[in-house]
Amino acid sequence: MSASIVVVDDDPIIRLDIREMLEEEGYHVAGEAKNGEEAVELVANLKPDLVIMDVKMPKMNGIKATQIIRRLQERDTSILLLTAYSQKELVQEAREAGVSAYLVKPVSEEDLIPAVEIALSQREKMASLKKDLEALKRSIDDRKLVEKAKGTLMKELALSEDEAYCKLREVSMAERIQMPQLAQRILSDGVKPWFSQKKNA
């Protein structure tokens, strides 16, 4: 499946040129906008992989639109800014806004396509990193649940730490429930539904 791209520029000729360059390379242009306000709305509705956006536009410029997209958006979209200006201040402002790549006009196919590939590659790396971080957070949260449930068992059944952990593992295997889910149920329902006997009883 080809990447989904939104093209934003107040000049319809430039939009058409960029669209043609992208489509020749097999990319899918999901939509076009002529200013930053339309860009924000399109991105919210279409959730594209990449936005190619001019900086200087009426109503709302590309940097302001980038800032809003970054604030409002749940799904990460790469943003490639196009501009006729190459001042250092603008580059810094674009970077701080969360732009993935930056091209100075006029844009040729030789410049555009590699920049698109880099921006999309960065998006994939960020998505992968985000996924890894979420998995790590889930793992830490799961560990905390198991530790809390283990502490509850130690207190209510007068067990040592090792014994409490073994009990949790035994019930988890017997009931075919993952340890974090079992821990959650113990913390919400109490120990009795799962452990009727006290240590040495």
Q: What is the pLDDT of residues 122-165, one digit of tens each?
A: 766 666 667 767 878 888 888 998 899 999 988 888 889 888 88
Higher pLDDT pick, 176 / 134: 176
Interatomic CA distance for residues 154 and 125, integer angstroms: 43
3-class SS of residue 71 = helix
Q: 22 and 91: one domain? A: yes
pTM for this model (two decimals)? 0.62
Element (H, E) at 50: strand 50-54
> Does residue 92 sit in helix, strand or coil?
helix
pLDDT at site 201? 39
Instruction: Compute the average pLDDT of residues 31-36.
Output: 94
Whether 149 is covered by a domain: the verdict is yes
Which domain range does residue 138 map to?
134-189
Overall domain count for the chain: 2
What is the mean predicted confidence (pLDDT) over 73-91?
A: 74
Task: Tell me, yes or no, whether 84 and 176 share the same domain.
Answer: no
So what's the pLDDT on residue 1? Answer: 52
The residue with tokens 């059944």 is 157
What's the CA gap between 20 and 38, in Å, rounded? 21
| C-beta of residue 166 within 8 angstroms of C-beta of residue 174 | no
Residues 14, 89: one domain? Answer: yes
